[in-house]
Chains A and B, each alone.
Chain A
Amino acid sequence: MDIDTLDLIDQYLRGNLSDTEKEAFEKRIAIEEDLQEEVLIHQQLLAIHEQEKISLTNTSYQQELVQMNEILNEEDNAKLSQKIRAIGKNQQPHTTVRFKRKKTVNWFYSAAASIVVLISLFFIFNTPKALPDYYQNYVNWEELPSFTVKGDPEELFEKGEVFFKNKEYKNAVATLSIIEPEDKWYPFALLYLGASYDQLNENEAAIATFQKLASLTTSEEYSKGYWYQLLLYLKTNQKEKALEMKTKILENPNHYKYKEATELDF
């Protein structure tokens, strides 16, 4: 294959040849076996790069398709297929939802400015208590900042928040997991994601999520990661780790729930 033929193949497949050039080239393809192969490979490489369907349609392919159907119907594969479907059915959340693509997050700053952090009531007991009791007393997911803005009902983050508020925690997890670390919403998504995992009693996933939040030291929300990890450690009876988090919070009076952490006496 020479360099001029390569250019010709490319021009032919991209539809840049004149009718006469095209006709002459197709005559060559019909008689030159090597050229046929080169055109096919080039066509498939173009399809892959353009993310188009690779064209496979001839008799050989049809026979292969029939064989593949037979393989899928072999007893062991058919059983595996049924098993996978059955396991999948158990994963299904209860509500079907649809999303539209997120349009813009420009309203984020105005919404963020209006965050009202609800202060929950705390009960400090002098008598010794079980660690999960502390969790019960302190956990209050209603404290999470709300970003629900009228007029933007389809926004992805809002969807996650709404699912959470409606106690559809699996859907909340599914939605909020899409938000990427580079997104402005990411720290807030982690808050709701961690809270959803907590509600689903997936405590390890909740702790891992709040660890991620705590690592975002450039975000104003990061110290909430310490507080919620502390609560989860209390919930799961991990005293050493809970104490570690308490120490972290007490390192800086500006940390979220600093005052409450000073009052925790487990």
Chain B
Amino acid sequence: MENTERYIQALIQGEDQIIQEIYKKIYPKVLAFILYNKGNEDDALDVFHDALMYIIITQKEKRSVILSFEAYLFVICKNIWKKNLKNKVIQTDVLTLEEKETNLSAFILEQQCFEFYIAKFSLLSENCKDILSSYFNGLSYEEITLANAYATVNTVRQRVFKCRSKLIELIKNDKEFQKIIKWGA
């Protein structure tokens, strides 16, 4: 947690030494992940750069609680790379800096949206998180009943409804939602 604050502050201030420390500590793992997942060193450098820029832009706008900087940065890198891999299917040419920037902007907006929903989901009870995870992952009410030893399918249906209503309430009561709803409507 202490390091997290130090790293974020240093990124925003552009402190060379600490940015180098971040690279030294975390970049080898990201490089390994990307090499292992059909990428090369240039891809890894782009992804790491974009992830750091994502943290700078979003944390400048609004500071959020990040428990582990390393884990957070790694997840952001993984998400950027997953998005890039999907784009690569249709895009074979080398991207210009401008195109890279537009991709980064799109990623920032998408990831902000993603983190908003995840934050709301994390406020639910453990039971609600479990049952809604199963539900959104495509399990039927019957399958959830069997897997969790619920009495009847109707009990599960009612429980999903209540948990989902709670989640919707949490989402709609946050003013951030007004921005996100405009993007998708």
Q: Which residues of A contact B (CB under 8 A)?
A: 1, 3, 6-7, 14, 36-38, 40-41, 43-46, 48-51, 53-56, 58, 60-61, 64-65, 68-69, 71-73, 76-77, 79-81, 83-85, 87-93, 96-99, 101, 156, 170, 173-175, 177-178
Q: Is the interface of B mostly helix, strand, loop or mixed?
A: helix
Interface size on B, residues (CB 8 A): 61
Not counting A44-B117, A54-B110, A77-B56, a sample of 18 additional A-B residue pairs whose C-beta atoms are within 8 angstroms of each other reads A3-B158, A49-B136, A50-B137, A53-B83, A54-B114, A61-B184, A64-B183, A69-B102, A72-B101, A81-B53, A84-B49, A87-B20, A88-B27, A91-B23, A98-B40, A101-B36, A177-B29, A178-B32
Distance in angstroms between the alpha carbons of A194 and B116 in the assembled complex: 40
Question: B40 contacts which chain A residues (CB < 8 A)?
Answer: 96-98
Distance in angstroms between the alpha carbons of A72 and B184 in the assembled complex: 23
Beta-carbon contacts of B99-127 to A below 8 Å, as 1s and 0s?
A: 00110111011100110011001000000
Is the pair A6, B184 in contact by a Cβ cutoff of 8 Å? Answer: no
Question: B171 contacts which chain A residues (CB < 8 A)?
Answer: 41
Is the pair B181, A83 in contact by a Cβ cutoff of 8 Å? Answer: no
Q: Which residues of B contact A (CB under 8 A)?
A: 11, 14, 16, 19-20, 23-24, 27-29, 31-33, 35-36, 38, 40-41, 45, 48-49, 52-53, 56-57, 82-83, 86, 101-102, 104-106, 108-110, 113-114, 117-118, 121, 133, 136-138, 157-158, 160-161, 164-165, 167-168, 171-172, 179, 181-185
Is the pair A37, B181 in contact by a Cβ cutoff of 8 Å? Answer: yes
Distance in angstroms between the alpha carbons of A173 and B108 in the assembled complex: 30
Q: Is the interface of A mostly helix, strand, loop or mixed?
A: helix
Distance in angstroms between the alpha carbons of A164 and B103 in the assembled complex: 36
| Interchain residue pairs with CB less than 8 A apart (25) | A1-B168, A6-B164, A38-B168, A40-B185, A43-B184, A55-B184, A56-B184, A61-B182, A61-B183, A61-B184, A71-B57, A72-B101, A76-B14, A80-B53, A80-B56, A84-B19, A88-B45, A97-B40, A98-B38, A98-B40, A99-B35, A173-B28, A174-B28, A177-B29, A177-B32
